[in-house]
Amino acid sequence: MQIFHYEVADSSEGPRLAAALLAAAPGWEIEHFTRLADFRERMHAFVEPDSIAVLAAANASELREMQDLGDLIQDIGIILVLPDWQDSTLRQAHHLRPRFCCEKNDSYTGLHQIVRKMVQASH
């Protein structure tokens, strides 16, 4: 299993989200990406079964770009950090078939619990 984290470099929530991931998966290497193009390129390489991708969409436009990842991410567990809870955002998010969604201003408690369970299930 591998853990991937995508979030734009200038995100104010980046340190909190990264800390939540590290706490949920102690001892696991987390591959961080700050450009969606770099994440897309990495998904073309070998990805282990049961891998997790935590994708933080800065806005609706970026969420649409994530949908273009399509087949590249269909076999990994997707966790989405959404910019808001608007109906249009949720409709877009469902195209990625996430296992969990939270909002960027969330405490990340739920995200922490889900990642921890996914990591424990992979053992």
Range of the domain at 79: 3-121
Residue 21 clears pLDDT 70, i.e. is over it = yes
- pLDDT value of position 13: 65
- CATH code of residue 89: 3.40.50.2300
Q: Residue 11 pLDDT more than 80?
A: no
pLDDT of 67: 92
Mean pLDDT of 66-84: 93
Task: Give the model confidence (pLDDT) of 25-71 as tens digits.
Answer: 999 999 999 999 999 999 999 999 889 999 999 999 999 999 999 88
Total number of domains constituting the chain:
1
Interatomic CA distance for residues 68 and 120, integer angstroms: 30
Distances (CA, A) of 41 to 9, 37, 73: 17, 6, 12
Model-level pTM?
0.93
CB atoms within 10 A of CB 7: 22
Mean pLDDT of the chain: 92
